Structure 1
């Protein structure tokens, strides 16, 4: 099994790459940070520096790589668009969409996939939390593209996972003590009673990769946070 994980050097993407590689898959990861790529290269088949927001780089990488069985897109627009809408810059809003929605669509235009595509979204798409309007819009766009793409790209399967709060470096904008307090407060409101680890989401992605009769689906992995939505 040959898999590309774009955005595979940190957080959910890295956990997914490691899980699939441990299962015997040939895993190729991409990322922008040379240090992160160097740290992961011995844990996967290969690691390449690709800026997911640069169409020429993405096109060249996917042409060079050729056909793959599965593609996992785990880009992140970062936390720059987190906060009240009126306090955000136009650049922060653009980055949220460019880094994720446009990045995913660009990769999908060039990828040569024979089996499945799995997109990483976020539960903000289906929640109503102050300060998350831009994140909700970007992740909502990701989730709404799943159904049309599942039909358009068939027989290639297209699905998404939609994590809630996950303990990853995405939260590094908060000091460690404040982050732990935030996680504890959120965990107390979840039916599962705990914050997800990146490995929890990776397991859901691995399921979708192997679930040959599942397509057009958005799978919540949010501890029940959006169970009533």
Structure 2
């Protein structure tokens, strides 16, 4: 099994790479940070420096590696656009889309994938949290394209995993004490009574890679947040 994980050098992407590599898959990850790429090479087959926002770079990457079985898209621009809508500039909204939604479309357009595509979105797409309008817009757009893509790209399967609060570097914009307080507050609001770990999401991706009769689906991995 040959798998490409774009955005696979940190957080959920890296956890997924570790999980699939441990299961014996040939895993190729992409990223932009040379230090993270070097660290990822210790656990995966290959780690390529690719700017996911550049169509030239993305198309050249996929031309180079040829066909493969499964594509996982785990790009994240971080907390760009987080905050009340009155205080978020349109430049930040565009940056949020440019850092995740549009790179997903680029990858899907050029990838020579034969088995499945799994997109990482987020629970903000289906929640009512003040200050997350931009995040909801980006992740909502990602989740909305899953069904038509599944129809258009069949027999390639297309699904999304939608995490809630997960302890990853995404939260590094907060000081450690504030971060832990945020996690404690989030844990109190979900039935699972804890925030997620990257490994939780990686397990869901692994399921979808193997689930040959599942396509066009959104799989929440949020501790019950969107049903609580």
Q: TM-score, normalised to structure 1's length?
A: 0.98
Please give the secondary structure, in 2, of the residue aligned with 1:3: strand
Aligned to 1:42: 42
Q: Does 1:156 align with 2:170?
A: no
Task: Give the corresponding residue for 1:169.
Answer: 169
Partners in 2 of 1:67 and 1:195 — Cα distance?
A: 36
Q: Which moved more, 1:88-97 or 1:52-61?
A: 88-97
Extract unaligned runs of 5+ from structure 1. none
Alpha-carbon distance in structure 1 between the residues aligned to 2:90 and 2:145: 24
Structure 1 residue runs of 4 or more that deviate by more than 2 Å after TM superposition: none
Secondary structure at the counterpart of residue 69 of structure 1: strand
- Partner SS for 2:145: helix
Supply the distance in 2 between the matched residues of 1:77 and 1:176 (Cα, whole angstroms). Answer: 20
Separation (CA, whole Å) in 2 of partners of 1:63 and 1:218: 29
Q: How does 1:85-100 map to 2 (within 5 A)?
A: 85-100=85-100
* Distance in 1 of aligned mates of 2:185 and 2:29: 34
Segments of structure 2 that go 5 or more residues without pairing to the other structure are none
Measure the CA separation in 2 of the matches of 1:33 and 1:89: 27
Query: Is the partner of 2:100 in helix, strand or coil?
Result: helix
- Separation (CA, whole Å) in 1 of partners of 2:147 and 2:12: 23
Query: Shift in Å at residue 189 of structure 1?
Result: 1.0
Larger deviation, residues 141-150 vs 86-95: 86-95
Paired residues in the alignment total 228
Between 1:209-218 and 1:72-81, the stretch displaced more is: 72-81
Which residue in the other structure is 2:200 paired with?
200
Deviations 1:14-68 (A, max 9, x none): 0000100000000000001111001111110000000111111011001101101
Partner of 1:109: 109
3-state SS of paired residue (2:8): coil
Instruction: Provide the rounded CA distance (Å) in 2 between the counterparts of 1:102 and 1:8.
Output: 17
How big is the alpha-carbon RMSD for the aligned residues of Structure 1 and Structure 2? 0.7
Following superposition, the deviation at residue 77 of structure 1 comes to: 2.4
Distance 2:225 2:145 in 1: 22
> Hey, what's the Cα distance between the residues in 2 that align with 1:90 and 1:78?
16
1:188-227 to 2 correspondence within 5 Å? Answer: 188-227=188-227
Partner of 1:23: 23
Higher mean C-alpha deviation, range 73-82 or range 167-176: 73-82
Q: CA deviation at 1:89?
A: 2.2
Q: CA deviation at 1:177?
A: 0.6
| Greater mean alpha carbon deviation, residues 88-97 or residues 146-155 | 88-97
Aligned to 2:8: 8
Larger deviation, residues 115-124 vs 92-101: 92-101
Match of 2:119 in 1: 119
Query: What TM-score results when the alignment is normalised by the length of structure 2?
Result: 0.99
**Hey, what's the Cα distance between the residues in 1 that align with 2:36 and 2:161?**
24
Partners of 1:143 and 1:205 in 2: CA distance? 15
Structure 2 counterpart of 1:52: 52
